[in-house]
Amino acid sequence: MALVWEQWATSRLARPALAARRLTAASYPCRAQAGQREESSLGSLYDYGARFYSPYLNRWIQPDTIVPDPANPQTLNRYAYVNNNPVRYTDPSGHCIPSDDGKTCLPEQRHGFRFARLPIDKSDLDWVTWYGTTEFAYRHSGEYAYSQGLHAGIDLGGDAGTQVRAGIFGEVLLKNRTGFGPGNITVRVMGSDGTSYDVIYGHLTTESVNQFEIGDAIKPDTIISSLADQGGNTHLHLEIRDEDGTYMFNPLRSAYQEDLDTLHTTARSQVQRLGEAYRNGITFHEPTEAEDYLTYYGDPLRQPLIVHWGTSYWTK
């Protein structure tokens, strides 16, 4: 069976000359140009890991589990391939058009659920650390090898013993199974798109986490734990992953505007209130000539999608 050289070679959008460009399976067996495996047993479908693509339908045969850019109407069709512009773009992951550096999605996707409230009350919130390319993450990138050298969640600082609420509807999936000690809990939530997400609450007291059983129902106002004493760095680490643990999403993308305003207000005042040590968590690494793509990510909401155990974002 001949192998299509490009995913779009047989597309109605492609010119006839392009449609004729094929490689034999003997020369490049079962691989598409972007490295995807061809499943001839399924009728010449390409396996992108996240889902299958049909070069004859010019479409994915499953909807994307995410909407890469809600501001772009082309991405609202979750069966379309690369914004219906396959001559210009490719989608190696099956989730999005990669950025120029080839490491991330542009822009980071909004996942399919919202926090009904912040896990820590506004009156108890002392400071925040953003997700993504923060100056703190850059200076301590070795500690974040699992998340491409980036901060894979947001931190909400408070006093030891501060109550932590779920903020979402879901059920307990794991207890004390991640590295965010001493105690932590993972809640699985179903998004409006039918996709499951895992929300990790870290740096909690072990005793309060142990009150729950696996499978217990969780509501937004459920008190899931309290903050463990970490000296001058007491905080909740809030992280969102997909069900398979491949991607780590920006929690700010699931917050309502009122809660975003609270976080921004806290960030704007925390250096003045608490000192210079709290600046690096809310400022983003100043790009050098070799890293000028970071200028796109100067906003806490517009941070790159983090791939679990992916290549370091800071690799030149």
Whether 137 and 220 share a structural domain:
yes
Tokens of 177: 């199974």
Final residue in a domain of this structure, among 84, 106, 137: 84
Average pLDDT of the segment spanning 54-77: 68
Query: 112 lies in a domain?
Result: no
DSSP line for 18-43: HHT-EE-TTTSTTB-TTSPEEEGGGT
Same domain, 129 and 71: no
Distance CA 249, CA 240 (A): 5
For the stretch 217-252, pLDDT in tens is 999 999 999 999 998 899 999 999 998 899 999 999
Provide mean pLDDT across the span 160-189.
94
Look at residue 286 in the predicted model and tell me its pLDDT: 62
Token pair recorded at residue 253: 């993308």
Helix (H, G, I), strand (E, B) or coil at 218: strand
237 shares its domain with 295: yes
Query: What is the model's pLDDT at position 68?
Result: 57
Q: Is the pLDDT of residue 98 over 70?
A: no
Residue 85 CB neighbour total at 10 angstroms: 13
Do 310 and 104 form a contact (C-beta atoms < 8 A)? no
Instruction: Enter the pTM of the model.
Output: 0.66
Is the residue at 281 inside a domain? Answer: yes
- pLDDT value at position 20? 28
Cα atoms in the 13 Å half-sphere on the side-chain side of 38:
22
Q: Which segments of the chain does DSSP mark as H helices, in order?
A: 16-19, 135-139, 206-209, 257-274
13 has pLDDT over 70: no
- 201 in the same domain as 133: yes
pLDDT value at position 29? 37
Domain contains 99 = no
The answer to whether residue 115 sits within a structural domain is no
Q: Return the top range by mean pLDDT from 26-35, 114-123, 277-286, 298-307.
A: 114-123
More confident residue, 140 or 86: 140
Structural domain contains residue 106 = no
Q: Is residue 205 scored above 70 in pLDDT?
A: yes
**Which DSSP state fits 68?**
S
131-148 average pLDDT score? 93
Angle at 286 between CA 283 and CA 288, to 5 degrees: 165
Overall domain count for the chain: 2
| pLDDT class of 63 with cuts at 50, 70, 90 | confident
Helix, strand, coil percentages (3-state) for the chain, rounded to 5, are 20, 25, 55
Residues 147 and 289 in one domain: yes
Region 293-304: what's the mean pLDDT? 66
285: which DSSP letter? P
Backbone angles phi, psi at 58, to 5 degrees: 60, 35
Residue 128 CB partners (closer than 8 Å, separation 6+): 154, 155, 156, 157, 263, 266, 267, 270, 281, 282
Parent domain of 231: 122-307
Is 12:62 a contact under the CB 8 Å cutoff?
no
What integer is the mean pLDDT of 192-211? 90
Q: What is the mean pLDDT of residues 25-31?
A: 36
The answer to whether the beta carbons of residues 154 and 132 sit under 8 Å apart is: no
Site of tokens 């506004």: 122
Q: How confident is the model at residue 315 (pLDDT cuts 50, 70, 90)?
A: confident
Using CA atoms, how far residue 296 sits from 107, 117, 252, 300, 304, in Å, is 9, 28, 17, 11, 9
Averaged pLDDT score across all residues of the chain: 77
CA distances from 57 to 46, 48, 73, 79, 279 (A): 12, 16, 21, 10, 51
